[in-house]
Structure 1
Amino acid sequence: MSVKTYRIHKPKVVVLGGGTGLPVILKSLRNQGVDITAVVTVADDGGSSGVIRDSITMAPPGDLRNVLVSLSDMPRLYEDIFQYRFKSEDHFLANHALGNLIIAAISEMRGSTYEAVQLLSKMMHVDGRVFPSSDEPLILHAVFKDGTTAVGESNIAKQRKTIDRVFVQNQHNLEEPKAARKVISSILAADMVVLGPGSLFTSILPNLMITEIGQALLETKAETVYICNIMTQKGETEQFTDAEHVRVLHEHLGQRFIDTVLVNIEKVPEDYMDNDRYDEYLVQVKHDFTSLRNEGCRVVSTDFLELRDGGVFHDGEKVVQELLRLVYERKRVN
């Protein structure tokens, strides 16, 4: 008697962003029985990444480094070596993360940051795929409500002005950026696309402002989920409600595309934040559930809060639990 075998298809989840928020979600999503693709911003021009991208024609490595580590099962010692940052008194190597230098070296060897990340993914036993949003370093431009402009991701928040819109250009030829290989096909084939958590204007939107990626988000049949920030950010989202975050995303792509918003409703204890260490964060994001629904979004509001080291973060396990519930619910319906 023949025995039929049934292939279980893993849900395909694409996560877009950058900064410190993206690795938190990816680390908790790893080993959860889903097919993960991380699409990482390449508009960072500060710190070690900024110095390297100005020295070598390559996408900035810092966010890519952190994402690779978050999806890797390499031993903790190897992770510590890859993440080691040289001391400030080390002059030439001051403040460079060793992993950034390794990514830079392989990018030069292979002539492509994309190829370097694919090679490192194999070496580091990454569970999933990691793609830079573009194979070229991008320059982020901001246009403020008063008509003035700022150039460079690290300069925008310093202006402390209300941002009207942002856009990106290739660093070296100022042409319209192109998405890296397999980014678009991954978005179009996904069951779920997750944006955030992360800086709205400097970590999330730089990906969406690559025209091909923005168009793919409008065309994909995937559930598109936005993880709203817990705190407002200095020079970016001051006084923003959760609905205003979503409104900005919709305005930048010219139509509504966010299906579901995850909103933390747990209160941050008064006087908890270490404001010297986390000086970019201001106050807790206020809620406007009526306006969120007017933006066409389903709202999932619960306790996603994690307090540690004097800072306010998303609890990766709680967020991923909700993402899994949503993606499996969608697969059952379809």
Structure 2
Amino acid sequence: MTRKKGPKIVVIGGGTGLPVILKELHQRNAEITAIVTVADDGGSSGIIRDYVNVVPPGDIRNVMVALSDIAPEFKDIFQYRFRSQDKFLAGHAIGNLIIAALSEMRGGIDPAIRELSEMLQVEGHVYPASAQPLVLHAKFTDGTLLAGEAEITAAHKDIKEVWVGNNPWSENKKPHAVPEALQAIEEADEIILGPGSLFTSILPNLMIEDIGRAVLKAKAEIVYICNIMTQKGETINFTDAEHVRTLNRHLGQNFVDTVLVNTEIVPESYMDFNRYDEVSKQVVHDFKGLREQGARVISDNFLLLRDGGAFHDGQKVVDELMNVCSNPIKKRD
């Protein structure tokens, strides 16, 4: 279910950070399009993609719930994850199974998402970055190579670059984007990257050649929401400028227009590093390095402390995103 709204905002990424922003954007006067990574091969999503040959459904599920207008109790059912004692279904979310079933019933992920969007009363557009599940590849600074998002992250080595390829059973030689996603990028007033894992949630989308090309050609303001904490196996010791430098390097030019960075200190004593074991330490600021890359820097207290972890405060971030949309530095026709 979609309604014509105000500014056209495209959000690109995956993981747990994306729904936080989408849920708040959903409350605003915006026409939202979410473009979601399909390179996840861990957990329930990875198991389902291997058995059913469907794009990993987990990130799509979370995004659809964030944009859904159905009653909370129905969202809870859709999001319910079976307990480990259930063995056969252990770890699977009901929504993942429904997405996989509809993909099989309707002959692909696109008709499945359209039908499920109607059922869930989704306000906005949700597109997988590609209709095919993709494999993430990485080259590390020591020259070694690995394939598979879960293995890349688990290696806990410094990543030099990533790229994506089709899974072994795909008939296509090169990954291609969903056409509707490319159209949304072309028509957008604002394109938001993140928050999320730099190498495994954001870059896999941009490494699909036609998505990367569309972003570079976009007339929209391109905003990167920098992570609050560094991530083991991905961005250990990265400054905010190094996050942006990595994005720019992968697309071959400085394309990020505006960067949102949190300046509030995360109390180390608050963090539950056992629960958030992939988190390392707070991202260090390098405003000079950001500006040298041509980026406008918007710094503020965007921090939300919750459940022993450091998260973005969706309301504060989206307040700023809407301000940026009203006052872009990138001129549109």
TM-score bracket, shorter-length normalisation: over 0.9
How far 1:67 moved relative to its partner? 0.2
Deviation, 1:142, is 0.5
| Partner-residue secondary structure (3-state), 1:330 | coil
- 59 and 332 in structure 1: CA distance in 2 versus 1, 3 angstrom threshold: closer
- The 3 A distance-change label for structure 1 pair 268 and 331 is closer
* Residue 163 (str. 1) matches residue 159 (str. 2): yes
- Bigger drift between 8-17 and 199-208 goes to 8-17
Q: 2:327 is paired with a residue of what secondary structure?
A: helix
The residue that corresponds to 1:83 in the other structure is 79
Alignment-mate amino acid for residue 179 of structure 1: A
Q: Report the residue type matching 1:88 in the other structure.
A: S
The offset of 1:270, in angstroms, is: 2.5
- The correspondence for 2:190, drawn from 185, 192, 205, is 192
Match of 1:46 among 42, 50, 57: 42
Aligned residue-pair number: 327
**Partner amino acid, structure 1, of 2:301:** D
Corresponding residue for residue 94 of structure 1: 90
Give the match for residue 255 of structure 2.
Answer: 257
SS across alignment from 1:168 = strand
Please say if residues 257 and 296 of structure 2, whose CA atoms lie closer than 8 Å, have aligned partners that are also in contact.
yes
Aligned partner of 1:122 among 118, 121, 125: 118
Are residue 248 (structure 1) and residue 239 (structure 2) matched? no
Instruction: Give the aligned CA root-mean-square deviation in angstroms.
Output: 1.4
The aligned amino acid for 2:23 is: K
The answer on whether the counterparts of 1:168 and 1:210 sit within 8 Å (CA) in structure 2 is yes
Structure 1 residues 332 and 94 mapped into 2: Cα distance closer, same or farther (>3 Å)?
A: closer
Name the % identity: 60
Structure 1 letter corresponding to 2:158: T
Q: Residue type of the partner of 1:152? A: G
Aligned counterpart in structure 2 of residue 309 of structure 1, from 307, 310, 328: 307
Match of 2:179, SS state, is: coil
Q: State the AA in 1 paired with 2:30.
A: V
Which residue is equivalent to 1:323?
321
Counterpart-to-counterpart distance in 2, 1:178 and 1:128: 22
The alpha-carbon deviation at position 31 of structure 1 amounts to 2.6
- Asked whether the 8 Å contact 1:226–1:261 carries over to 2, the reply is yes
Q: For residues 167 and 47 of structure 1, do their structure 2 counterparts lie closer, same or farther at Cα, with a shift above 3 Å needed? A: same
Looking at structure 2, the residues matched to 125 and 270 of structure 1 have their Cα atoms a distance apart, in angstroms, of 40
Distance in 1 between the 2:247 and 2:268 partners? 30
| C-alpha distance in structure 1 between counterparts of 2:26 and 2:276, whole Å | 27
Contact 1:44 1:153 in 2 (8 A): yes
2:206 paired residue number? 208
Q: Which amino acid aligns with 1:32?
A: R
Normalised by the length of structure 2, the TM-score is 0.96
CA distance in 1, matches of 2:239, 2:150: 23
**8 Å contact 2:254–2:294 — kept in the other structure?**
yes
Partner of 2:147: 151
Residue of 213, 217, 220 corresponding to 2:218: 220
Gaps of 5+ in 2: none
Contact 1:45 1:60 in 2 (8 A): yes
Contact in 2 for aligned 1:31/1:127 (Cα 8 Å): no
Classify the secondary structure of the residue corresponding to 1:120: helix
Amino acid at match of 1:100: N
Q: 1:81 to 1:155 in 2, by over 3 A?
A: same
How far is 1:92 from its partner?
A: 1.1
- What is the match of residue 177 of structure 1? 175
Alignment of 1:133-144 (within 5 A): 133-144=129-140
Question: Deviation per CA, 1:110-156, whole angstroms, max 9, x where unpaired?
Answer: 11112211111111111100000000000000001111011100111
1:267 and 2:281 matched: no
Structure 1 window deviating more from structure 2 (109-118 vs 124-133): it is 109-118
1:158-214 deviation per Cα after TM superposition (whole angstroms, max 9, x unaligned) = 112111100001112372100013011100100000000000000000000000000
- What is the distance in 1 between the residues matched to 2:267 and 2:5? 42
Amino acid at match of 2:278: E
Aligned equivalents of 1:107 and 1:332: distance in 2? 39
1:184 maps to amino acid: L
Equivalent residue letter for 1:70 = A
- Measured in 2, the distance between the counterparts of 1:156 and 1:176 equals 21
Is the contact between residue 226 and residue 261 of structure 2 (CA under 8 Å) also seen in structure 1?
yes
Structure 1 portions without partners, runs of 5+: 1-7
Q: Secondary structure at the match of 1:198?
A: coil
Moved over 3 A (4+): 330-334
- Please, which moves more after superposition, 170-179 or 93-102? 170-179
Who is 2:285 aligned against?
A: 287
Listed one character per residue, the Cα deviations across residues 286-323 of structure 1 (whole Å, up to 9, x for unaligned) are 00000100011000000000000001100000000000
Output the amino acid matched with 1:170. N
Please give the secondary structure, in 1, of the residue aligned with 2:276.
coil
Contact 2:13 2:194 in 1 (8 A): yes
